Structure 1
Amino acid sequence: MVVEINGKTRELSKSLFPPEIEIGNVVEIVGNKIIVLKEETEKTS
């Protein structure tokens, strides 16, 4: 999956993401976990 971090794109393995991840989701990386921020995602849609 391609993600944008601090304005730069990076490719990360899809296995790092929760199964419910969708294109356009806003996520937060906390330690070694990736969390979907549903409220932030709704604001950007």
Structure 2
Amino acid sequence: MHNKSIAELSQGLASGEFSSAELTRVYLDRIEKHNAGLNALVSV
């Protein structure tokens, strides 16, 4: 899902391909996985 454009994500949400909760979980998981080395985010 992280390789999709904003337009593709919008279409996926509109079509029911995935829910907003699923989309949010994917990105929160990516933040958790990658932020330790980056320290880009303090709090989400």
TM-score for the superposition, normalised by structure 2: 0.26
Structure with bigger helix share is 2
Q: Which has the higher contact order (CA 8 A, sep 6+)?
A: 2
- In terms of Rg, which structure is larger? 2
TM-score for the superposition, normalised by structure 1: 0.26
Structure with bigger strand share is 1
